[in-house]
Every structure is written in structure tokens, then in C-alpha cells.
Amino acid sequence: MLEPFQMMKTIILHTLLSLISFTAYTQAENKTVVGVLPITGRGVKDNYLTEITRKVTESFIETHRFIVVDRTKMNVIEKERNLQKSESFIDGSVVEQGKSLGAEYLVTGNVDQYTNDGQVCKMKISLNILDVTTGQTTSTEVIDTKGGNRRKGLGKAGLLGGALAVGSRVPGVGLAAMAGAAALHGRDDNYADARKKVFEKSLNDIYPQIQDFVAVNFPATFTVVSVENTTKAGKAATLLIAGGKDMGVATGQKMKLMKLQPLQVNGQQMVRRKQIGIATVKKVEDEHFCIAAVSDETEDIAAAIAAKEKIEAKTFYED
């Protein structure tokens, strides 16, 4: 039998563990589960494809709004897809595997065009979102870049001279050609490094486009907590919204203010979401809250909040 002190310690420990588990659950239950399949592409090095996949995955993780399925588990699905004829085609078995991993959406991608000469890297990547519930592709977007220019080192004359000297060994080749040949030999080991550097630069250049792809196709929804300030007429001027740094909220971000109206339709309980205004984030207070200014108000938001009506703020992005 446990002593009273030991029993109390056990109770406290169990309580703390329960609280930790409950907190983790409540944080996770509001997050969308996404699986990012390995990006494919003919003629692109495997390590480059892995790096692109990592960037796409990172764009989801950094928002703190998603649970991303472990990459090793996604590789199992990729093996199934490799048995299919097309990089972009996904059959029912892949969808079912996604469901078994708890994924709500699968993200696929293919490098459609790719060139890299060590000076300029250009690539065009198509990204797709598959709704695991319906098995339908809900969005497709092409991300393009002209690449970063790293035109340093040998010019065309030096490269040509080097090729001539190495390939032909023609007597009387000038010093410029010999210098070009030496430079070519000296840079053999650096050529791969040059290609890697321009690839990394191009990938960094298109990363904002990948972030936009996530933001546009997976809008965030937050609860409007209260009216922070009112106008002289008693209208809502600023709102306190339950979304902060931890959810990727940033100053200047726009949100649609949606009033939730419970409705009974044909014996079923449904919720109508009606836009009643726009909120623009003016200040991100901390990890959990932000202050947003109200505009384009079509209903009295202050009165709706006072009446305990539920209002959500949903992110959107203008073209």
C-alpha cells in the first residue's frame, strides 16, 4: 500500500500527464493532416528532388497549422505510385493508403521542366492537392522560375579554347587555349558544386510561391473573440482574433469575417457562413492573438458579438 505522500505524488503525476495529453490533443484536433509525396521529375537528380520535397513540406510545417505525415511513411505510398504509368496519376490504392495514415490531403508534385548549366538553373514545378475523402484533385498550380544567375568564372572563349586543346591536341594552340584547358581541368570537381549552388538559389527564389500555394489553398480560420475598440457610432473598429504567430498570422493579412448561422434544413442541422466584413491584421500580439481593423462591414459586428453570435475570421489572398 502506498504511503499518503507517495499516493499524492502519483495522483499529481497522473493529473499532469492527463493535462499534457489533453493539451496535445486539443492542439492537434484543429490541425489539418497533410501528406507530401516525394516530388518526381525526369532528368533531375534524386537529391535535388528530395530538396524540393523538403521545401514543400517545410512550407506546411512553418505555418503551425498542419500535422505533416512522416516522410518515411509517405515513401511507402510513393513506391505504390512508382508502379503506375504516370507521375501525376493516382489510383484508389494510393488514396486508401493515405487514409490509413490519417491524411486528409495528399500533395503531389512533378518537375515538368528543368535545365541547369552551372550558371543558370530554370525549373517549372506543378503541385497538386488531392482530397483523400473524395479522391479528387482540388487544386493544381504551376510554379516557375527563371533561376539565379551566377555567371562567374570562364567565359565562352575560355571554354571553347579548353575544349579545343583537350580534344584535338593541335600543335601551335595558343596560350589562351592552354589556359582554358587548364581551367577546365581545374574546375571539373567544382562543376557539380556550381550546379548545386544555382539550383539552391533557384529553389529559394520560388519558395515564396510555394508558401503562397499553401496559404491560398489552405486558408486559416480563427475565432473572433471580442471587439477591441469601437467607433464614435458604436461600430466595431478593431477586433481581437484568436490567431497569432503560432498560426502564421502576419501584419497586413486580410481575413473575411463570417457569421455562423445554425439552420435546420430538411431535418438536418446545417451551418450557413455569411460574410459580414473584412478584417486586416494591424498587430500580432503574441503566439495566440492578433488585433485586426474592420472594413466593408455589412452587418453590425459589435451587436452580433454582444449577442454571442459566433464569428470566424478566414484568411484570403487577393490576386
pLDDT tens-digit series, residues 5-17: 455 445 444 433 4
Q: Of all residues in the chain, what percent carry a pLDDT higher than 70?
A: 67
Tell me how far apart the alpha carbons of residues 145 and 255 are, in angstroms, rounded to a whole number.
29
Indicate left, alpha or beta for 187 from its phi (over 0: left) and psi (-120 to 50: alpha).
alpha
Q: Of all residues in the chain, what percent carry a pLDDT higher than 90?
A: 55
Give mean pLDDT, residues 102-112.
91
pLDDT bin (cut points 50, 70, 90) of residue 58 is very high
Query: Among 114-118, 227-231, 246-250, where is mean pLDDT lowest?
Result: 246-250
Residues facing 256 on adjacent strands: 278, 314
Nearest to 202, CA basis, from 128, 142, 150, 127: 150
For CA atoms 90, 95, 96, 102, give the dihedral sign. positive
Fold of domain 31-149+190-217:
Rossmann fold (3.40.50)
Tell me how far apart the alpha carbons of residues 210 and 318 are, in angstroms, rounded to a whole number.
16
CATH class label, 221-315: mainly beta
In the chain, domain spans: 31-149+190-217, 221-315
Nearest to 32, CA basis, from 223, 214, 240, 271: 214
